[in-house]
Amino acid sequence: MGAGQCFHFKTQKKSRAIDREINTAVFLNRAFSCGITTADLGELSIGMINDIFIESANDHFEYSYLATQEDINNL
């Protein structure tokens, strides 16, 4: 499994904002669940790893419209 492919679990728990700060254990747990190894941690910045967390959360989002190549060319 490559970096950025986190495990996603369905739970009965309500989704709400986290009211606690991230600590080292939580950070490492999230990193390892996304397939980031300890060797990768030495090469990536915290910002890059946080971007991986955010993008992995977006992987299962249903977008109402996906851009086509024509849309991109029109930019």
In a domain, 8, yes or no: no
Token duo for residue 67: 């851009």
DSSP secondary structure of 6-71: ------SSPP----S---HHHHHHHHHHTT--HHHHHHS-HHHHHHHHHHHHHTT---S----HHH
In a domain, 32, yes or no: yes
Interval 2-41: pLDDT, tens: 555 555 555 565 666 656 677 888 888 888 888 899 999 9
In a domain, 74, yes or no: no
Looking at the predicted structure, is the pLDDT value of residue 72 above 90?
yes
CB 31 within 8 A of CB 4: no
In a domain, 26, yes or no: yes
In a domain, 71, yes or no: no
Domain span at residue 48? 22-60
In a domain, 16, yes or no: no
